[in-house]
Amino acid sequence: MFNLFRSPIEKSSLSAWSKLTDDIAKVAILAMPVILYGKHSLAFKGMNIAFLLIIAYIFLVMGRFFVNYRRKDNMGLTVGLGIIALIGIAGAIWANHLLKNSR
């Protein structure tokens, strides 16, 4: 119950991860107007909108991946967690880089 990495993965865990990735994609989509109406340059807005579109697409694909494997009932959750961790780390590094260069 407390070990998320134990095989076989419960269907409820895959369903929760699918919903989580869908929610992250929704947040990325809803953040676009905030970027568009900000006071930054057009290049900065364009770059951030492109980044948010990529995030939304990746997380929607990951959500579908979890749904498909929930139906097959043979997925180890480690791959999905690894993908989420890599995307999160890359986003944090990119945001840190932008903050350092914007000053």
Q: Is the dihedral of CA 36, 41, 88, 64 positive or negative?
A: positive
pLDDT at 80: 65
pLDDT on residue 78: 59
* Nearest Cα residue to 84 out of 38, 44, 24: 24
pLDDT, tens only, 50-92: 888 888 888 888 888 888 877 765 555 556 666 777 777 777 7
What pLDDT sits at residue 62?
85
Per residue in 2-59, pLDDT (tens digit) is 665 566 667 777 788 888 888 888 998 998 898 888 888 888 888 888 888 888 888 8
Residue pair 7/48 in contact by the 8 Å Cβ criterion: no
